[in-house]
Structure 1
Amino acid sequence: MLDQTNYTEDNIRSLDWKEHIRMRPGMYIGKLGDGSSPDDGIYILLKEVLDNSIDEYVMGAGKTIEISIQGSKVIVRDYGRGIPLGKVVDVVSKMNTGGKYDSRAFKKSVGLNGVGTKAVNALSSYFRVESSRDGKSASAEFEQGNLKDQEFLEETTRRKGTKVSFVPDEIIFKNYKFRNEYVEKMLKNYVYLNPGLTIVFNGEKYYSENGLKDLLSENIKESDMIYPIIHLKGDDIEVALTHSRTQYSEEYHSFVNGQNTTQGGTHLSAYREAIVKTIREFYGKNYDASDVRKSIVTAIAIKVMEPVFESQTKTKLGSTDMGGELPTVRTYINDFIKRYLDNFLHKNTDTADKIQRKILQAERERKELSGIRKLAKDRAKKASLHNKKLRDCRVHFGDIKNERNLESTLFITEGDSASGSITKSRDVNTQAVFSLKGKPLNCYGLSKKIVYENEEFNLLQAALNIEESMEDLRYNNIVIATDADVDGMHIRLLLITFFLQFFPEIIKEGHLYILQTPLFRVRNKKKTIYCYSEQERVNAIDELKPKPEITRFKGLGEISPDEFKHFIGGNIRLEPVMLDKDMSIEELLEFYMGKNTPTRQKFIINNLKVEIDLVAEKNENG
């Protein structure tokens, strides 16, 4: 038992800056992760370094940023003004040290807390910064935040600017891997928000001339737009919007001072409100807000003086004021939309007519659904009181002030045995379980009505809390956990179809995953190795020879809760579900879930890998 009387000065300890960051990394970069999620820590490290280079561009210094990621090493080189040479060490290793406290220089910067590159330094096993300016250069090298080497050159031929190289520390970030898809999305957002900026990533150029208009063109095919993108720009605000022919839900991309506010905030709430208000006034009709916004695909970017965010990772804006002499965020956005969108609609009557027709269509669909929606809501309300399908967790995605909110996860399982194993071994704080009863319905081509008529879909929608909008999503990670057999694969496909058909932004925003579970257990008396592939099994047998015990897991229900905790804990392996950028959602669903049987048969035959092929491939590769 703890001796509570022995509490003296010796119990009090002060941590230096790097110890504190390494002990509490979540406070600085959100969750850690292994790179399978877009908000994992390794991407936040890259973003923190990049933000400084972007700020240089915003200040008119350096039009190109070069990024290289080879394995675990990241290099970011800009051609800005370069860090003042005498402050190179301080800027990356002294808390509350930076150029952005001088608001004259960085009036509308994201990185105002002076923590960014210090966190990258402390959480990297290797960190090097080089600055060149006025024909001179200085560099410093660190390991886990500790200075190892520094150099000062009186003469250099290097172009001015800053180069930062780092390797995220494997002690902190376990088994991590950078995924180019997530890096590319981040870089595209940077160029959309900074037209004229060129970012070169591993030799590929990213550039935008039309800002947020280009962002929307990337996210919705022209053939799916009801009308051409409306693009509006002001001093500290830019907006692009259109409506989709096929998408049921609302889709928002929001930014503050170049930061992608994935969880919205005061600016997004004001924007959603302003669109409805302006549309109602323009047509002189009190349309339902949900009818106005149904199927909208839109982006907003604003610049705020000294923004206040609701979390360290800056995913939700808390500021109510624009700063300086400007009005509140709400008033500023309302006034801008009222003036510019109203003007646009008056000048472009064809677009105005198409918007009105879309609203009236949404109104008809909503009225058709109203009876069944009420029945479904009543049913879900009763079920939620004793809902055996959902075993909830304590921390949810919306709990922005809880640093574990990004870990909030919903496992969607099939059958009682699998859900039982996960339920017994899960972390009750951040992991919830939703249990399916057999195979869900193939909902390709069906209307939203089916979400309310089908009890499982209705309860899943209620569990995720996404009926009205994505803003209230309860879990950051939605994980399909099914057996790795033909039936399990089919269930995965049916669930992915459900999300693509009715809630595509769940996938677009990187929330949907497949749980990877081991196929084999190889063990001897001293060691157990779980193998996720045939190659890992071969390696494990080789390591534990002469005659280890080998178990083939046929389904999740066979894995005991004691073992399952290894697969959904710190070593969890998740495979993100990503969209093919060359194929629209409609084309994807039509190909995989539609009635094009001969085409799909040909594809399967051409891509089928039978065991004999795999063995031959293995022999070829040694």
Structure 2
Amino acid sequence: MTAKYSEDSIRTLDWKEHIRKRPGMYIGKLGDGSSHDDGIYILIKEVIDNSIDEFAMGVGKSIHVDITDRTVSIRDFGRGIPLGKVIDVTSKMNTGAKYDSAVFKKSVGLNGVGIKAVNALSNIFVVESYREGEMKKASFSRGELVSEEEIQPSEEKNGVRITFHPDQEMFSNYRFISEYIESMLKNYVYLNAGLSIYFNGKKFLSKNGLLDLLHENMNGKCLYEVIHLKGDDIELAMTHGHQYGEEYYSFVNGQHTTQGGTHLAAFREAVVKAVRDFYKKDFDTSDIRTSIIAAISIKVQEPVFESQTKTKLGSKDIGPDGPSVRNFIMDFVTSNLDNYLHKNPEVADSIYRKILESEKERKAISGIKKIAKERAKKANLHNKKLRDCRVHFNSTHENKSEASIFITEGDSASGSITKSRSVNTQAVFSLKGKPLNTYGLTKKIVYENEEFNLLQAALNIEDGLEGLRYNNVIIATDADVDGMHIRLLLITFFLQFFPDVVRSGHLYILQTPLFRVRNKKTTKYCYSEEEKERAIKLLGVNPEITRFKGLGEISPDEFKYFIGKDIRLEPVLMKKEESVSDMLSFYMGKNTPDRQEFIIENLHVERDEI
């Protein structure tokens, strides 16, 4: 029966109620902090963006970010919010200075929405503005004004301090991962020469902009010295490495556009045109761009992003009276890259050799690739390995960021997950056993090995991440020696052939409970010995303790609790100091005395409960 649709059905939500009811419109997904694009990091970004805009206008050369437990404090030294408008700016929609282009040119903040979203989604939100020897302070909870102080004298330097505690009603069991925050803060300093950001006392500063960014993010050596070019409202850095795929970092007005947009599409096109024109050869696009590592930053007046989280640029033009984004980037790249290659023939030779090498490998696997594609296409019609979901990351669904795939080993584990998963957003890919160790092998093996070929096809990553079907690629194996080995083999596969899946924060390990502790009234699932001890104390005398040894031992009825809203995912992170080639060589290469010694020193034997 259809509900009656009448005047009574129409509701008008106030600003804070709307943000809390539809947080995805403002901060993307909520999440628990295990993913770099979870909402708690967007909250930090929204506050810092305002501080960056102050720096861009020539005031406030340092920003202090302090996080203790779950409380975030951000202090800038800009002009400070006009004291009479502190409450309005932080709690009234469509209120702010970003509408005045004379006050904020080419700013990150656009609509005055971000800081209100932080306010509405925090159970504690305190704003303090210091301006010309005076200060104003106001405190909120979930967007409601709790208290305000009269304007009073202050010896503090001009600027703003925002302190907030994300609301646990919205973000349950969340945690901050410092690597994600540090990566975000580094990007800010790379794009803002002269800006210092302090994170819990640790200083971040960049002198060479995008050049520093590439050096920071490169794993292993590049083929030639990074090409670094700057112009009015544009900066780029690029080189080629030894990895498969393409790796890009794109920015607009200091905002990291993780999903690219019109500027990145134009840059990728421009690089191909510039290279073809310079060598006067019609090279294949993939041969030119394979193994490229590049960063591009542009500044746009009144940019149009595809969402409030500003991860993808939609603007067609640089400004009201400026050229199109495509023409602006095309003209800059084609002329400046051509000049650079003429002046640096050794770099031009390195690029030429790289293109020929890529062309040779592409042609060598073209035959097997065609056969493998046909095999994968047939398998997709009746793919027993893949139990797909309805929503995919490369679709237009509102909840596409929830699209996940569990990679499991064996029928029992995949059976439990399949029966308890959400058919809308969770897919399952079942391995028949331990996958091949791909270390040192060429990409030809991806097409020759049926299992790898089907996994590549399921993820849709053969030609890069643009078509990736799942935002979360989750390795779900037993927490025993065999399970750990399968994890290593799968991580090796991704690092060897599809490092962007890892680098872009899409690869995770599923955490499942080691113990179930229960009495007649309460059941607790514990992920560590410490959690088990706490559960035993909480439940009292002689609770029943079960040790889970494998995923197949957990019934589907129980499994739904571990892959639902309280799912625990451990991200697979790549750190600058860890060279991928060195790491794979050590752990996955031939057995060496060094590795034997490492295993002996780190051997840990777990004894079952008696």
**TM-score, structure 2 length as denominator?**
0.98
Say which is worse superposed, 158-167 or 595-604, in terms of deviation: 595-604
Which position in structure 1 is the counterpart of 2:459?
464
Query: How far apart are residue 216 of structure 1 and its match?
Result: 0.3
Tell me which amino acid in the other structure corresponds to 1:234. G
Name which of 270, 277, 284 aligns with 1:274. 270
Tell me which amino acid in the other structure corresponds to 1:451. V
Which position in structure 2 is the counterpart of 1:147?
145
Q: Does 1:127 align with 2:114?
A: no
- Alignment partner of 1:224: what SS? coil
Q: Does 1:420 align with 2:418?
A: no
Query: Could you report, residue by residue, the CA deviation over 1:457-486 in whole angstroms, capped at 9, with x for unpaired residues?
Result: 111111111111122211111110001111
Q: Does 1:355 align with 2:351?
A: yes
Query: How far apart are residue 301 of structure 1 and its match?
Result: 0.9
Name which of 334, 338, 356 aligns with 1:338. 334
- Decide whether the 8 Å contact of 2:72 with 2:163 is kept in 1: yes
- Decide whether the 8 Å contact of 1:123 with 1:145 is kept in 2: yes
Name which of 24, 27, 32 aligns with 1:26. 24
Name which of 589, 596, 600 aligns with 1:601. 596
Query: Could you report, residue by residue, the CA deviation over 1:524-546 in whole angstroms, capped at 9, with x for unpaired residues?
Result: 22111111112222222222232
Which position in structure 1 is the counterpart of 2:240?
243
Which position in structure 1 is the counterpart of 2:55?
57
Pairing 1:152-191 to 2, within 5 Å after superposition: 152-191=150-189
- Cα separation, 1, equivalents of 2:7 and 2:398: 30
Which position in structure 1 is the counterpart of 2:42?
44
Which position in structure 2 is the counterpart of 1:432?
427
Tell me which amino acid in the other structure corresponds to 1:342. D
Query: Between Structure 1 and Structure 2, how many residues are aligned?
Result: 609
Query: How far apart are residue 296 of structure 1 and its match?
Result: 0.5
Q: Does 1:69 align with 2:67?
A: yes
- Cα separation, 2, equivalents of 1:251 and 1:131: 40
Which position in structure 2 is the counterpart of 1:328?
324
Q: Does 1:16 align with 2:11?
A: no
Alignment CA distance shift 1:89-1:488 (3 Å): same
- Cα separation, 1, equivalents of 2:326 and 2:522: 60
Which position in structure 2 is the counterpart of 1:504?
499
Query: How far apart are residue 159 of structure 1 and its match?
Result: 0.5
Name which of 250, 255, 274 aligns with 1:254. 250
Q: Does 1:483 align with 2:478?
A: yes
Query: How far apart are residue 140 of structure 1 and its match?
Result: 0.5
Query: How far apart are residue 611 of structure 1 and its match?
Result: 4.6
Query: Could you report, residue by residue, the CA deviation over 1:465-514 in whole angstroms, capped at 9, with x for unpaired residues?
Result: 11111222111111100011111110000000001111112111111110
- Cα separation, 2, equivalents of 1:12 and 1:403: 22
Q: Does 1:391 align with 2:401?
A: no
- Decide whether the 8 Å contact of 2:218 with 2:576 is kept in 1: no
- Cα separation, 2, equivalents of 1:286 and 1:611: 60
Q: Does 1:526 align with 2:517?
A: no
- Cα separation, 2, equivalents of 1:213 and 1:554: 48
Tell me which amino acid in the other structure corresponds to 1:538. E
Which position in structure 2 is the counterpart of 1:370?
366
Tell me which amino acid in the other structure corresponds to 1:112. L
- Alignment partner of 1:39: what SS? coil
Which position in structure 2 is the counterpart of 1:550?
545
- Alignment partner of 1:127: what SS? strand
- Cα separation, 2, equivalents of 1:2 and 1:351: 68
Say which is worse superposed, 443-452 or 591-600, in terms of deviation: 591-600
- Decide whether the 8 Å contact of 2:257 with 2:313 is kept in 1: yes
Query: Could you report, residue by residue, the CA deviation over 1:69-106 in whole angstroms, capped at 9, with x for unpaired residues?
Result: 01000000000000010100000100011110112222
- Cα separation, 2, equivalents of 1:554 and 1:428: 26
- Alignment partner of 2:509: what SS? strand
Query: How far apart are residue 447 of structure 1 and its match?
Result: 0.6
Query: Could you report, residue by residue, the CA deviation over 1:523-580 in whole angstroms, capped at 9, with x for unpaired residues?
Result: 1221111111122222222222322222221211121111111000110001111123
Pairing 1:225-240 to 2, within 5 Å after superposition: 225-240=222-237
- Cα separation, 1, equivalents of 2:572 and 2:236: 29
- Cα separation, 2, equivalents of 1:10 and 1:451: 58
Query: How far apart are residue 403 of structure 1 and its match?
Result: 3.1
Query: How far apart are residue 13 of structure 1 and its match?
Result: 2.5
Query: How far apart are residue 610 of structure 1 and its match?
Result: 3.5
Which position in structure 1 is the counterpart of 2:487?
492
- Alignment partner of 2:455: what SS? helix
- Cα separation, 2, equivalents of 1:136 and 1:149: 18
- Decide whether the 8 Å contact of 1:68 with 1:202 is kept in 2: yes
- Cα separation, 1, equivalents of 2:180 and 2:478: 27
- Decide whether the 8 Å contact of 1:239 with 1:301 is kept in 2: yes
Which position in structure 1 is the counterpart of 2:214?
216
- Alignment partner of 1:345: what SS? helix
Query: How far apart are residue 3 of structure 1 and its match?
Result: 5.9
Query: Could you report, residue by residue, the CA deviation over 1:166-207 in whole angstroms, capped at 9, with x for unpaired residues?
Result: 000011000111110000000000001111110010000000
Tell me which amino acid in the other structure corresponds to 1:333. I
Name which of 449, 455, 472 aligns with 1:454. 449
Query: How far apart are residue 608 of structure 1 and its match?
Result: 2.3
Tell me which amino acid in the other structure corresponds to 2:178. N
Tell me which amino acid in the other structure corresponds to 1:169. D
Q: Does 1:309 align with 2:320?
A: no
Tell me which amino acid in the other structure corresponds to 1:468. D
Query: How far apart are residue 9 of structure 1 and its match?
Result: 4.0
Cα RMSD (Å): 1.5
Query: Could you report, residue by residue, the CA deviation over 1:210-263 in whole angstroms, capped at 9, with x for unpaired residues?
Result: 111100001115x6111000001111111100000x211111111111111111
Query: Could you report, residue by residue, the CA deviation over 1:107-130 in whole angstroms, capped at 9, with x for unpaired residues?
Result: 312221221000000000100001
- Decide whether the 8 Å contact of 2:83 with 2:151 is kept in 1: no
- Cα separation, 2, equivalents of 1:312 and 1:439: 43
Query: Could you report, residue by residue, the CA deviation over 1:26-74 in whole angstroms, capped at 9, with x for unpaired residues?
Result: 1111111111110010000000000000000000011000110010000
Which position in structure 2 is the counterpart of 1:541?
536
- Cα separation, 2, equivalents of 1:517 and 1:460: 23
- Decide whether the 8 Å contact of 1:264 with 1:471 is kept in 2: no
Name which of 376, 379, 388 aligns with 1:380. 376
Query: How far apart are residue 519 of structure 1 and its match?
Result: 1.1
- Decide whether the 8 Å contact of 1:27 with 1:403 is kept in 2: no
- Decide whether the 8 Å contact of 2:50 with 2:108 is kept in 1: no
- Cα separation, 1, equivalents of 2:273 and 2:503: 28
- Alignment partner of 1:200: what SS? strand
Tell me which amino acid in the other structure corresponds to 1:140. A
> 5+ residue gaps in structure 2?
none
Query: Could you report, residue by residue, the CA deviation over 1:327-383 in whole angstroms, capped at 9, with x for unpaired residues?
Result: 111111111111110110111111001100110111111110111111111111111
Pairing 1:281-320 to 2, within 5 Å after superposition: 281-320=277-316
- Cα separation, 2, equivalents of 1:403 and 1:302: 28
- Decide whether the 8 Å contact of 1:274 with 1:333 is kept in 2: yes
- Cα separation, 1, equivalents of 2:187 and 2:253: 12
Q: Does 1:587 align with 2:582?
A: yes
Tell me which amino acid in the other structure corresponds to 1:592. Y
